[in-house]
Amino acid sequence: MTRYSDEFIDELKENVDIVDLISDYLELKKTGNRYKGLCPFHSEKTPSFFVNPDNNFYHCFGCGAGGDSINFVMEIENLTFIESVKMLAERSGMELPDMSNQQRQVYKERENIFSLNKLAARFYNYLLTDTNMGKEALEYLNKRGFNEEDIKRFHLGYAADEWQLLLNFLKKKDFSIHLIKKAGLISEGNNNSHYDKFRNRVMFPIFNNRGEVIAFGGRILDSEDNYGPKYLNSPETQIFSKKKNLYGLHLAKDRIRKENSCIIMEGYTDVIQAHKNGFKNSIASLGTAFTEEQAKLIKRYAENAYIAYDADTAGNKATLRGLDILNNTGINVKVIELEEGSDPDQLLKNEGSDVFNELIENAVNLIDFKINMIVKDKNLSEPGIRKKVLRSIVELLSGVEDNLEREIYLERAAAKTNFKADILAEEVEKEFKENKRRNYKSNREKQNKKKEKTFDLYSQLSYYQKVEEEILAHFISNPSLREELAGRISKNDFNGRTAQLAERLFKGSVISNSIHLDKIKEELEEELLSYWSEILVKQDNSLDRNRILDLADYLSSKRISKNKEKLCRLISKKELSLDKLNRILLTFYSLNYNIERRD
Ligand SMILES: [Zn+2]
């Protein structure tokens, strides 16, 4: 990974008040020397997200997320390391130093893909609005009810029915084939030739939430098959990940925040039509199923989401799973029920915003929606079908944890199906209890695991572990102590997870002020990384220098006496060769010497 000098990074972290930074995203409350709040990276009701302002670290004891201010920005803004550094530098009014050549290259490549995309979007837009080539596409858009203003707002365009029009244009603008390919705009043919990926398509640029073009979606203009699929999207690139972005968010985010709700649709044209009709909090997932990343992205802006999918899509399994993901992220999900064969685009165009508003008002929550899906088009007078429907409803409702809620849904389900309410209730309760029993063990295990991870962690640790963690935390966060600590302890003084961390930290001969902690961090597995932030958030900053050094000596003397015991055991065994005995005695003396020196 590219980086700035360690000095600059250290200075930057010093300058950024991590409590101030994180408070931009969630509410933090002071507790002792630390701050706590609801974790922005997983859904929770009691806060297990802690910030330690003394060493600028955060850690969530619920999901294990953690790190310093740069990690936080990377995670929550979905940025690279360099971009996060840039953002934090701007925030604290620091000037960015020059990067090395190689660093500059990698960073430059991303920047270049951004500007290449921007230029391509402009080119497509020009073809659509100002050339004869785009006439048919323009007519198509007009026919679908989109005017100049809509085209401008979403920066729509047209990819001409040519093989190398965009390629040649970008080449003339000095972009290399290598880069155009990396941006996903061309494909490779035979004999090393290249051609435009998007041809004869209406182009929908996809923006990130900062309003930069990161990818394209193209809709075929010709209905014949020889042009490929109806919709074609950019591949995943350095700057585009389908599962992490949402169409239209850059335009909708302010409104979403203001209204604390968004409307999630399926297609590009749905969103454009919605914005045109005043529903400016509308966005679309880039694919039918919702991902966790997208859910978290929404959670940053709003707590409520209305789903406006086509009737046939809304009911399918992948969609429902996506809705569950949204719901589990802590978003209150309501489904707008559209008539079979209708979509928001057509509906808004044909019936107008009043009708759509009414549908929003009548949107049903997820359980009601699922009941409707179970009952839909079923002939309930047929015993076999009736039984199946009953089974599905029992299964669904027995998953509702809250008693009162379960009761309410029961009544609604009974009314919808003409099942006797008390019989349905009996079945659901039976299944509910059965579920509980079945889940008891696994829940218990899960909860125990969770308990281990809650913040009163000290109580669960032995004194040695506490000392080990404390020493490592100070080693990491206190450069002026590093050398001295390194002279007193080695990785062998640690046990378990602290030993794993210590091994990485003490690796190599250089343990000085310039130790590349960020580099080590990059090499750590996720679990150790999480442990890293955990011990830093727990770090006791009231310990003074001497106390820390004492603790370090304590750790190493503990190891030495342990080794001495081992040696004694060996010596007491018979039949040691003279050679081995000599070696053991030498070690023994040196251990004693060490202990005396320290005492
Ligand atoms: Zn968390």
Residue the block writes with tokens 């880039």? 286
CA of residue 450 to ligand 1 center, whole Å: 12
- The end-to-end CA distance of the chain, in Å, is 45
Contact 310, 346 (CB under 8 A): no
Identify the architecture of domain 459-598 in CATH: Orthogonal Bundle (1.10)
- The CA radius of gyration of the chain, in Å to the nearest whole number, is 31
Ligand 1 geometric centre to CA of 19 (Å): 16
Cα 505 to middle of ligand 1, angstroms = 26
Please give the distance, rounded to the nearest whole angstrom, from the Cα atom of residue 66 to the centre of ligand 1.
8
* Contact between residue 514 and residue 6 where contact means Cβ atoms under 8 Å apart: yes
User: 41 CA to middle of ligand 1, Å?
Assistant: 5
Ligand 1 centroid to 372 CA: how many Å?
Answer: 34
pLDDT of amino acid 510: 45
C-alpha 182 – ligand 1 centre gap (Å):
34
Query: 468 near 559, Cβ under 8 Å?
Result: no
Question: What is the whole-number distance in angstroms between the Cα of residue 306 and the centre of ligand 1?
Answer: 25
Give the Cα-Cα-Cα angle 347, 210, 309 (nearest 5 degrees).
25
Contact predicate 536/477, CB 8 Å = yes
CB-CB contact of 302 with 261 (8 Å): yes
d(CA 445, ligand 1 centre) in Å: 19
Handedness of CA 558, 560, 565, 570 (dihedral sign): positive
CATH class of 244-371: alpha beta
Question: 94-128 pLDDT, tens per residue?
Answer: 888 776 666 677 778 888 999 999 999 999 999 99
Residue 10's nearest CA partner among 529, 532, 479 is: 479
| pLDDT, position 515 | 53
Beta bridge partners of 159: 201
Decide: helix, strand or coil at residue 212.
coil
Instruction: Give the pair of three-digit tokens for residue 523.
Output: 């090499």
* Interior angle at CA 111, CA 110 and CA 116, nearest 5: 95
Q: Kindly report whether the global pTM for this prediction surpasses the value 0.75.
A: no
What is the whole-number distance in angstroms between the Cα of residue 551 and the centre of ligand 1? 31
Topology at the third CATH level for domain 6-91: DNA Primase; Chain A (3.90.580)
In angstroms, the CA 166 to CA 195 distance is 9
Angle between helices 463-477 and 496-506 (to 10 degrees): 20
Distance 38 CA to ligand 1 centre (A): 8
Rounded alpha-carbon distances, angstroms, from residue 339 to 274, 343, 356, 360: 17, 8, 12, 13
Three-class DSSP category at 205? strand
Note the pLDDT of residue 455: 42
In this structure, what are the phi and psi dihedrals at residue 285, rounded to the nearest 5 degrees?
-75, 150
> Within 13 Å, how many C-alpha atoms sit on residue 144's CB side?
21
Burial 266-277 (b: 16+ CB within 10 A, else e): bbbbbbbbbbbb
User: Taking a C-beta distance cutoff of 8 angstroms, is the pair 266, 284 a contact?
Assistant: yes
Q: Give the start-to-end residue ranges of the domains of the chain.
A: 6-91, 102-240, 244-371, 378-452, 459-598
DSSP 544: -
CA 61 to ligand 1 centroid distance, Å:
7
389 contacts 377 by C-beta, under 8 angstroms: no
Question: Could you list the mean pLDDT of each consecutive 10-residue stretch along the chain, which spans 599 residues?
Answer: 71 88 91 89 86 90 89 88 90 80 76 95 97 96 95 97 96 95 93 93 94 94 74 92 92 91 95 97 87 87 92 79 89 91 91 95 93 88 89 90 88 89 89 82 60 47 80 83 81 83 69 58 76 86 83 81 73 68 69 52
- Rounded to 10 degrees, what is the CA torsion of 180, 181, 185, 190? 120
Distance 584 CA to ligand 1 centre (A): 50
What is the reported pLDDT for 483?
Answer: 78
* Ligand 1 centroid distance, CA of 50 (Å): 10
Distance from residue 309's CA to the centre of ligand 1 (Å): 30
Per-residue confidence (pLDDT) for residue 451, from 0 to 100: 46
- Expressed in angstroms and rounded, the spacing between residue 43 Cα and the centre of ligand 1 is 7
Measured in Å, residue 42 CA sits from the centre of ligand 1 at: 5
Q: How far is the C-alpha of 203 from the C-alpha of 26, rounded, in Å?
A: 37
State the virtual CA torsion across 288, 293, 294, 300 in degrees, nearest 10: 170
Q: Is 78 left (phi over 0), alpha (psi -120 to 50) or beta?
A: left
Strands of the sheet containing 246-247, edge to edge, are: 246-247, 282-285, 261-265, 304-308, 332-335, 364-365
Structure tokens of 370?
Answer: 């699922």
**Rounded to the nearest whole angstrom, what is the distance from the C-alpha of residue 30 to the centroid of ligand 1?**
18
Element (H, E) at 414: helix 403-417
Helix (H) / strand (E) containing 104: helix 101-130
Cα separation, 469 vs 441, whole angstroms: 32
Sheet holding 157-159, edge to edge: 157-159, 201-207, 213-220, 231-233
Dihedrals φ, ψ of 248, to 5°?
90, -5
Distance (angstroms) between ligand 1 centre and the Cα of 391 equals 36
Query: What tokens appear for 454 in the block?
Result: 């809650």
CA of 74 to the centre of ligand 1 (A): 15
3-state helix, strand, coil in the chain (%, to 5): 60, 10, 30
Q: 73: CA distance to ligand 1 center in Å?
A: 15
Superfamily name with CATH number, domain 102-240: DNA primase, catalytic core, N-terminal domain (3.90.980.10)
